[in-house]
Structures are given as C-alpha cells and as structure tokens.
Structure 1
Amino acid sequence: MARIEQDVFAEIAEERSGVRSRTASRRRSRRRGWLTAGGIAAAFVVGVLITPSVLSLTTAASSGSSVSAVPAPAGVTSPELKSLADGGAKNSATTGGSASSATSTPRDIVRTGSATVQVHDVRAAADALRALAEKHGGFVESEQLGSSGVPSSTGGIVPLPQGDGWVTLRVPAADLTAVMDALRDQGTVLSTSIGQDDVTATTTDLRAQVASLTASVDRLTQLMSQASSVADLLTAETALTDRQAQLQSAQQQLKSLESQVEMSSVQVTLVREAAAAADPAGFGDGVAAGWHGLIVSLNALVIALGFLLPWLAVALVVVLIVWGIVRIRRAGRARRSAGNTASAPTPQD
C-alpha cells in the first residue's frame, strides 16, 4: 500500500509539473507573438511618418540638380530610359523658364497698319506702293487688283467694286509710321489705323521650349548611342522622334512671331475715284443730255417689254382657252334651245 501511494503521488507530481511547463511555454509563445506584432506596427508607423519627408527631399534634390550630368548606365531597361528622357525634358524646361524670367528682355510687339486710299489709277497706285515698300527695305506680300475682295480682320473676304483692289506691304517695324505718312502722296487717304499686339510672353515661352527641346534631343541622342538592347534603342528612338517634332513646331511658331515683330504688315485698300458728272453748259450739251436720257429711257422700256413678254404670252394662252370654253358652252346652249323649239307642238287653226 505504501509503495502504491508513493507511485500515485509521484504520477500526480509529474502530471502537475507537465501542465506547468506547457502553460509556461504557451505564455512565452503569446509574449513573443505580441512583441512581433508590436514591432511590425511600430515599423509601419515609422515608415508612414518618415517616408513622405524623405521622398520630398529626394524629389527636390533631383529637380534642382543638373540632369545632363547624369550618365546613362549600361544595361538600363526601357522604363528607366523613358523616365530619364522625360525627367530631363521637364527639368530642362523648368530651368529654361526660370532663367528666361530672371533675364530682362526687350518687349516683342507686333505692329500692323491699314488704310483706305482713293486714287485715280489703281494700277499705277499699286506700282507706287511697291516702290515705296522697296524704298524702306520691305516688299509686297500680296496684291489683288480688279473685281475681287479685300481680306478683313475676321479672316473673311470683303467684296470690292469693279476696278478697285488691295495691296499688302511688309515693311520694317521702325518704318511703319513713315510708310503710313507716305500714303498721302498716293491719293486721298479716307481712313487709317495702326494696331499693336504685345507677344513677349508667347515668344519667351517659345524660346524656353526650343532650348529645353534642343537639350532633350541631345540627351536622347546620347542615350541611343549608349543603349545596350534593341528595346532600349527603340524606346529612345521613339522619344527622339517625338522631341524633334515638338522642336520643329516650336521653332516654326517662334520664327513666325519674330518675323511679325521685325516686319510690320500694312493693308492698303485702293478705291478708284468716281467720274465727275458733266453739267450741260449750252444748247449742244442740253441736246446731248436729252438724247442720252432718251436712249436710257428706250433701253429701260425695251428691258421692261422683254421682261413682260413671257407673261403676256402666258396670259394670251389663258385668254384663248377661256374664250374657247365660253364659245363651246354658248354653242351648246344654242343647240339645246333650237332642239326644244323644234319639239314643241304647233297650234292648230
């Protein structure tokens, strides 16, 4: 019995020690899990708070740095090559825009003039205007004489009377006032106007775009020479083609505006003088004026008759049809009346 009791108590003690060890291990596992979760949460919070500041500092540093000094590493992939090209163009545009705004440049002003001049001979006046433009170092941009139209400010064509015309001159902007004053020598100036348009902001932006796109084209050309795969080469070639098209468009717009600033446009409308009416000064002039009036009246009468003749023909046809219908109806009535009279009984004696 004593041995049995000792064995039972020994088993109970072993079971109690095993339960205690399992409980302790569970507690240690739970403690390790809570510590791991807390560390992950702390790392997440630190990342959320610190990462935006680090990214903003990195972006500011990259935008302020010179992109042209960044070499294209060998073996660069297509997305990286595209990001380098796009980033270089944007940074160059920012740098060009700030440099242009900081530098004081003269104002770019487009000056234009227009006038309406009454002349005796439109052809001779057009030749005189050509000589005037060449005298001041300009030229005739366009010319139209005869029954045509003159370009309007809205882009349309305003019709002109028979024998009139218009001439568009291009003269240096500095000589615009002198050319407008010289128009008085060509005839009677009916109206004049001078307009000015400040295009400084547009030309400044176009110059910045040209400088930025030129730098971008040069960088893309270098990247093409350093491309290590066909995919990189095709990406660089596509970006280079797009940049070259944008560069040519900006250069054309800038060239057009600079030409308008340097050479002013003068639109001159030439109107022929009206012939003066002759006043009769004697018997012969009176007879001539009367004969002329008679001819004009006869001509108007002939025109009126020619206009009314088709209507008269139609009216005659209608009258004939109505007259025929009336004759037929009268003949029918007469026959019916004669028939009724013949069929009636005669009185006997």
Structure 2
Amino acid sequence: MSAPLVPQGAAGGSADSSTSFAASESGTSTTDGTRDIVATGSSTVEVEDVPAAITQISDAATSAGGYVESSQVGGGYGVVPLDATASQPAVSSGWITVRVPAEALTSVMDGLSAVGDVTATSVNRSDVTEQTVDLRARVAAGEASVARLTELMAQAGSVSDLIAAESALSERQAQLDSDRAILTSIESQVAMSSLSVQLNMRSQTVAADPAGFGDGLVAGWNGLIATLNGVVIGLGFLLPWIAVAGIVVLIVWGVRRIVRNRRGSREA
C-alpha cells in the first residue's frame, strides 16, 4: 500500500504555523520599509447651496484622482435628488463620501475652506502594517500549498489519494481566496483614503438696525398723539354720564331742600 500523497498539515495547522513564522521573520514593516496606514477623514461644512457644494467636492475628488463613493441631499421634506429643480423645497443639509489617494487627503480637506465654513474636522489614522504583513505571508504560504497539492494530485496512485488531495486542495484554495480578498480590501483602504463631509446650510444673519434719536423722537410724538386721542375719546364717552349724574344730583338736592323747608315750617 502506497503512502498518502497529502503532506501532513497541508489542510491543517502546520501551514498556519509557517505563516505566523514568516510574518514574525518579516517583522512589522513592509518590504520597502514603509508603514501601511489607513486614513479616514471627516468634516462638517456650512454652505450657502448644498447641491452646489456637493458638486464642488465631487469635482475636487475627481481632480485628485479619486471618486465619489456615496452622496445624499436632504431637505425639510426628505431626500431629494442632486438635480433638484427650482420648484422643489430648499435643501438644508446633505453629505458626501469620497475616496481619494492617501497622499491627496490633506490637500482635499484643506480645499473644503473654499466650499464653505469648516466648523469641524478630524482625521483618524490606523496602522495596519502587522495585518498586511501577516496576510501577505498567509497568501504566499497558501499559494505554495495549492501548487504543491496540485502536483500531488497529478502523482496520485489511487482513488483515495486523489480524493484526499482534492479535499485538501479545495480547503486550501478557499482559504487562499479569502486571504486574498481581505488583503485586497485593506490595500485598497491604504491606497485610497475615505473622506466624509457633512454639509449644512449656513444660517442667515439678521442685520441689526438700531433706532436713533430721531426715531425715538418720532415714536414719542406718535405716542403722545395717541394718548391725547385716547383722553379725548374717553372724555367724549364720559360726558353724557356726567350730565345725567349732575341732573340726578340736582333732583336729590332739590328734594332734600323742600323736605327741610317743610320740616322747619312745622317746627315754627
């Protein structure tokens, strides 16, 4: 009976051990001695026209060699398209996310001051050198393992050996594809930085117009006239009542006088 063609650990843990050893031998720097940094920027900008600002940022990212990842224009009535017509409500806010080359991130963020008033900005940088070094070692080990298993399949002396080699190759190929996809994603984030910009409509400033001495004099005169008018109206309203009250008082006084005279006559 022939010995199995699948090497021990081809689909198991020995390959991972060799990968970790390769990563530790490589250290935490890339082959050219640089570091792998993922940079992510965010800013908040107040602008006069949100759709126009989104267009400006999009053009700046494209000119720098990047592209627009996503964008949205929001107004008081929900989300509206970028090509909003004049009949639609005014847009009060929006946001845009762009990807630009890592070396152009700073210049693109500096250019936001030409779009509007930058009220907040931040940049987050993550060092992923160890992760990329480890992934590159895993990919290299996986490629070597796949090549070795492919050779062993061609040398398989029995059906059982062939099935074992195919199973190990399938597992190793799936792991290799996964490692390649993750490495490609991280390398893309390193090469192309992400910038998210929140756009808000600038609040309208109300111009102050303090009143002067002349305005105060006019206001005082108008108030005096209004007061005099009120007094005249009040007097006109009270005069009929005053006349009626006077007549009543005269009648009462006359009655009392008559009563007094009669009482005096009786006593005499």
* TM-score category, normalised to shorter length: 0.5 to 0.7
- Residue of structure 2 in register with 1:253 after alignment: 182
Moved over 6 A (4+): 278-282
Give the structure-1-normalised TM-score. 0.51
Counterpart residue number, 2:6: 81
Picking from 31, 34, 56, the partner of 1:128 is 56
Once residues 208 and 180 of structure 1 are traced to their aligned partners in structure 2, the CA distance between those partners, rounded to angstroms, is: 35
Whichever residue aligns with residue 120 of structure 1, its letter is E
Alpha carbons of structure 1 residues 215 and 256: separation in structure 2 relative to 1, 3 Å: same
Scaled by the length of structure 2, what TM-score is found? 0.66
Match of 1:242 among 156, 171, 194: 171
Percent identity (aligned)? 47
Equivalent residue for 1:144, pick from 69, 72, 87: 72
Q: Deviation of residue 101 (structure 1)?
A: 2.6
Q: What is the CA–CA distance in structure 1 between the aligned matches of 2:206 and 2:27, rounded to whole Å?
A: 65
SS in 1 for 2:122: strand
Q: What one-letter code is carried by the residue in structure 1 that aligns with 2:22?
A: G
CA offset at residue 106 of structure 1? 1.4
| Counterpart-to-counterpart distance in 1, 2:44 and 2:67 | 19
- Does the aligned pair in 1 maintain the 2:112–2:118 contact within 8 Å? yes
Preserved CA contact (<8 Å) 1:143 1:166: yes
Aligned residue number for residue 47 of structure 2: 119
Aligned match of 1:212: 141
- Structure having the higher strand fraction is 2
Q: 1:90 to 1:178 in 2, by over 3 A?
A: closer
Amino acid corresponding to residue 101 of structure 1 in structure 2? G
Structure 1 residue 177 displacement after superposition: 1.1
Q: Compared with structure 1, are the counterparts of its residues 94 and 164 closer, same or farther at alpha carbon in structure 2 (3 Å cutoff)?
A: closer
Trace 1:53-72 onto structure 2 (pairs within 5 A): none
For residue 75 of structure 1, report the CA deviation from its aligned partner.
Answer: 3.0
Following TM superposition, by how much is the alpha carbon of 1:100 offset from its aligned partner in structure 2, in angstroms?
2.1
The CA distance in 1 between the partners of 2:20 and 2:157, in whole Å, is: 30
Residue 96 of structure 1 is aligned with which of 18, 22, 41? 22
93-102 vs 105-114, which moves further: 93-102
Which protein shows a greater Rg? 1
CA contact (8 A) 1:119 1:273 kept: yes
> Structure 2 vs 1, CA of residues 225 and 140 (structure 1 numbering), >3 Å: closer, same or farther?
same
Q: Secondary structure at the match of 1:81?
A: coil
In 1, Cα distance between equivalents of 2:32 and 2:184: 21
Give the 3-state SS of the residue equivalent to 1:83 in structure 2.
coil
Structure 1 regions of 5+ residues with no counterpart? 1-73, 150-160, 283-349
1:262 corresponds to which residue?
A: 191
Amino acid at match of 2:193: S
Give the RMSD, CA atoms, in angstroms: 2.8
Q: Which amino acid aligns with 1:242?
A: E
Partner secondary structure for residue 27 of structure 2: helix
Is the 1:172–1:264 contact (alpha carbons within 8 Å) kept by the matching residues of 2? yes
> Which is helix-richer, 1 or 2?
1
SS of the aligned residue for 1:145 comes to: strand
SS in 1 for 2:92: coil
Instruction: Give, as a single letter, the amino acid of the residue that structure 2 aligns with 1:203.
Output: T
1:186 aligns with 2:115: yes
Letter of the 1:190 partner, please give it: T
CA drift of 1:166 comes to 0.5
CA displacement, residues 62-82 of structure 1 (integer Å, 9 cap, x when unaligned):
xxxxxxxxxxxx9333xx625
User: Are the counterparts in 1 of residues 6 and 149 from structure 2 also a CA contact under 8 Å?
Assistant: no
- Partner residue of 2:34? 106
Residues 76 and 227 of structure 1 are in contact (CA less than 8 Å); yes or no, is this contact kept in structure 2? Answer: no
Give 1:195 deviation, angstroms.
1.3
* Cα gap change, 1:189 to 1:202, in 2 (>3 Å): same
**Higher RCO (C-alpha 8 Å, min separation 6):** 2
TM-aligned CA deviation for residue 94 of structure 1 = 5.3
Shift of residue 84, structure 1, vs aligned partner: 6.0
- SS of the residue aligned with 1:146? strand
Out of 153, 156, 160, the position equivalent to 1:231 is: 160
| Residues matched between the structures, number | 196
Residues 161-198 of structure 1 deviation map (CA, whole Å, 9 limit, x = unaligned): 96311000111111111111100000111111111111
8 Å contact kept, 1:82–1:235: no
